[in-house]
C-alpha cells in the first residue's frame, strides 16, 4: 500500500507540474517539449529530486506515448495522399536525407563513437519534428500558404522513411548482424507495402468496422487496434511506432476525423510522459561535456534544414519569401529524434553520451527553431529580401537618341 501511495503522489505531482509548464509554454508561444525534457532531467537520475517509485509507470506510459504520436500522425494522411506525396516529393526527400543525415553520421565518427552510433546520430539530425512544425505553422497563420504543402511533403517522406529506418537501426543496436539486419529490413519493407496496399484497397472496410457514431466504441476500437498492431509489429522486429503509424494511414473518412478528436487528449498526456521519461533516464551531469558539440551540431544541421526547405520550395516554383519560410519552418527536431535516441539508450550498446547529446541537441533546435521561423515575417527581413530581389532584376537599358 505504501508503494502505491508513493506512486500516486509522484505521478500526480509530476503531471500537475507538466500542466503548469504546458500553460507557461503557450503563454510565451513556444513548444512545451523542452520544458518537459527539463522536468524529466530535474526529477531523474542525478536530478534535484529523483523519483524512484514512478519510473516504471513512466516507462510504460512512454511506450504508449510513442505509439499515440505515430498513430495520430498517420491519421493526418490517407494512403492515396501518402503515395502521391511520395512520388512528387521523392527528390526533395533525397536532398533532405543527404544534407541532414550525413552531418550527424560524420559528427559521431569524428567523436570516435563508432559506425552504429553514427547511424543513430544521423537519424537524430535528419528527422524534423512534425508536431512542433505543425504547431508553428498554425501559430503563425501559415497553414494556407503556398509553401506549406512543400513542408508537409518533406515531413511525409521523413515519416515514411522512418518505417524503414527504425527496424534497421533496432537490428543494428541489437547486434544481430548483417544477415538478420537485412531480414528485419525486408520484413519492414514487406509490412509497409502490405499495409499500404490493404489501406488503399480495403481501408474503407476497416473504417466501416469502427463506427464513428459511438464515441466510446470508436475510442476503444481504434486504441485497441493500434496497440494490437503495434505489439504484433514489435514481435515481428518491426518498430511498434511504425505499426501505429500504418494503422493511422489505414483509417480514413469520418472515422479518422472523429478518432483524431478523441485521441488528441490521450496523445497529449502520454506524449508529455514520453518526453519526461527520456529526461528521467538522462543524467544531467552528462550534459555539460556534450553541450558545445550539441551547439555546433545544431548550428550546422539547422543550416542544412534551411537549405533543404529553400531548395524544395524553389523546385516547387515557390517565390523567394516562401522558400525562406519553408527552410526556417523545418529546423526543429523533436519526437522522432528522441524516439531514435531512446532506442539507443534502451539497447545500451552505443556511446553513453549519445542520450545527453541528443537531449541537448533537441532542446537547442526545439527552442530556437520556432523563434527563427518568425524571421521571414519581420519587417527588416522583408526589406532586405526585397532589396536582394530588386538587385537581381535586370536594369532597364537607357534609351538612346
Q: Per-residue confidence at 299, pLDDT binned at 50, 70, 90?
A: very high
The mean per-residue pLDDT over the stretch 146-165 comes to 80
Q: How far apart are CA 122 and CA 118, in angstroms?
A: 6
pLDDT of residue 233: 75
| % pLDDT > 70, the chain | 85
Cβ neighbours for 20, distance < 8 A, ≥ 6 positions apart: none
Q: Output the furthest CA–CA distance in the chain (Å, rounded).
A: 101
Residue 243 neighbours by CB distance under 10 Å: 28
* pLDDT tens, position by position, 192-216: 677 667 766 776 677 777 776 788 8
**Separation CA 133–CA 235 (nearest Å):** 32
Q: Determine the distance from the C-alpha atom of residue 98 to the mean position of all C-alpha atoms in its chain, rounded to a whole number.
A: 18
Q: Note the helical H segments in 253-378.
A: 253-280, 288-315, 320-329, 335-347, 353-372
22-50 mean pLDDT: 77
Q: Print burial letters for 322-346: b (CB count within 10 Å at least 16), e (below 16).
A: bbbbbbbbbbbbbbbbbbbbbbbbe
* 357-382 exposure pattern, b = at least 16 Cβ within 10 A, e = fewer: bbbbbbbbbbbebbebbeebeeeeee
Helix (H, G, I), strand (E, B) or coil at 48: coil
Q: What is the pLDDT of residues 207-242, one digit of tens each?
A: 777 776 788 888 888 888 888 888 887 776 666 766
Q: What element of type H or E holds 215?
A: helix 215-235
Q: Residue 352 and residue 290: Cα distance in Å, rounded?
A: 11
pLDDT band at 352; cut points 50, 70, 90? confident
* Main-chain phi, psi angles of 211, to 5 degrees: -70, 130
What phi and psi values does residue 331 have, to the nearest 5 degrees? -65, -40
**Predicted local confidence at residue 82, as pLDDT:** 64
Helix (H, G, I), strand (E, B) or coil at 112: coil
CATH number for region 76-268+286-381: 1.20.1530.20
CB 129 within 8 A of CB 58: no
Closest-CA residue to 74 (of 125, 29, 130, 21): 130
Q: For residue 33, how many other CB atoms are within 10 A of its CB? A: 26
CA dist., res. 92 & res. 104, Å (int): 19
| Residue 115 CB coordination number (10 Å) | 11
Would the pLDDT of 269 be above 70? yes
pLDDT at 113 exceeding the cut of 60 = yes
pLDDT at 390 over 90: no
- Output the CA–CA distances (angstroms, integers) from residue 305 to 274, 279, 301, 309, in the order listed: 25, 25, 6, 6
On the CB side of 222, how many CA atoms lie within 13 Å of its CA?
37
Mean pLDDT of 45-73: 77
Contact residues for 175 (Cβ-Cβ < 8 A; gap 6+): 349
pLDDT one-digit tens code per residue, 176-192: 666 666 776 677 677 76
User: Within 13 Å, how many C-alpha atoms sit on residue 390's CB side?
Assistant: 6
Domain boundaries, the chain: 76-268+286-381
Model confidence pLDDT, tens digit, residues 315-333: 888 888 899 999 999 998 8
Residue 394 main-chain phi, psi, to 5 deg: -65, 130
- Which grid cell sits at 223? 486504441
Average pLDDT, the chain: 80
Of 113 and 302, the one with more pLDDT: 302
Its pTM stands at 0.74
Average pLDDT of span 277-304: 86
Weakest mean pLDDT among 120-129, 272-281, 378-387:
272-281
pLDDT at 262 over 90: no
Amino acid at each position: 500500500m505504501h508503494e502505491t501511495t508513493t506512486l500516486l503522489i509522484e505521478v500526480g505531482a509530476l503531471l500537475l507540474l507538466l500542466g503548469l509548464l504546458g500553460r507557461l509554454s503557450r503563454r510565451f508561444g513556444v513548444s512545451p517539449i523542452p520544458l518537459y525534457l527539463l522536468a524529466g532531467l530535474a526529477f531523474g537520475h542525478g536530478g534535484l529530486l529523483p523519483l524512484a517509485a514512478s519510473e516504471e509507470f513512466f516507462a510504460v506510459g512512454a511506450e504508449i506515448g510513442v505509439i499515440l504520436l505515430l498513430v495520430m500522425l498517420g491519421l493526418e494522411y490517407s494512403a492515396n495522399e501518402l503515395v502521391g506525396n511520395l512520388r512528387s516529393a521523392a527528390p526533395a526527400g533525397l536532398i533532405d536525407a543527404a544534407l541532414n543525415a550525413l552531418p550527424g553520421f560524420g559528427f559521431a565518427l569524428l567523436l570516435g563513437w563508432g559506425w552504429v552510433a553514427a547511424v543513430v546520430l544521423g537519424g537524430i539530425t535528419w528527422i524534423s519534428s512534425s508536431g512542433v512544425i505543425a504547431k508553428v505553422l498554425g501559430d503563425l497563420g501559415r497553414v494556407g500558404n503556398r509553401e506549406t504543402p512543400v513542408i508537409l511533403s518533406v515531413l511525409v517522406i521523413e515519416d515514411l522513411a522512418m518505417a524503414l529506418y527504425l527496424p534497421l537501426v533496432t537490428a543494428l543496436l541489437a547486434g544481430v548482424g548483417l544477415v538478420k539486419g537485412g531480414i528485419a529490413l525486408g520484413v519492414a519493407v514487406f509490412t509497409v507495402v502490405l499495409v499500404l496496399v490493404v489501406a488503399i484497397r480495403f481501408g474503407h472496410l476497416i473504417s466501416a468496422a469502427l463506427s464513428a457514431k459511438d464515441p466510446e466504441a470508436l475510442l476503444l476500437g481504434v486504441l485497441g487496434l493500434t496497440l494490437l498492431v503495434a505489439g504484433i509489429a514489435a514481435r515481428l522486429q518491426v518498430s511498434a511506432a511504425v505499426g501505429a503509424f500504418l494503422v493511422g494511414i489505414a483509417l480514413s473518412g469520418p472515422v479518422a476525423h472523429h478518432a483524431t478528436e478523441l485521441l488528441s487528449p490521450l496523445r497529449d498526456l502520454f506524449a508529455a510522459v514520453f518526453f519526461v521519461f527520456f529526461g528521467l533516464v538522462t543524467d544531467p551531469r552528462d550534459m555539460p561535456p556534450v553541450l558545445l558539440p550539441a551547439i555546433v551540431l545544431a548550428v550546422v544541421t539547422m543550416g542544412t534544414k534551411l537549405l533543404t526547405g529553400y531548395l524544395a520550395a524553389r523546385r516547387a516554383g515557390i517565390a523567394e519569401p516562401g522558400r525562406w519560410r519553408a527552410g526556417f519552418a523545418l529546423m526543429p527536431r523533436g519526437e522522432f529524434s528522441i524516439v531514435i535516441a531512446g532506442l539507443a539508450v534502451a539497447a545500451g550498446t552505443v556511446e553513453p553520451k549519445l542520450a545527453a547529446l541528443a537531449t541537448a541537441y533537441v532542446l537547442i533546435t526545439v527552442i530556437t527553431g520556432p523563434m527563427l521561423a518568425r524571421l521571414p515575417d519581420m519587417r527588416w527581413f522583408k526589406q532586405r529580401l526585397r532589396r536582394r530581389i530588386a538587385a537581381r532584376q535586370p536594369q532597364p537599358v537607357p534609351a538612346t537618341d
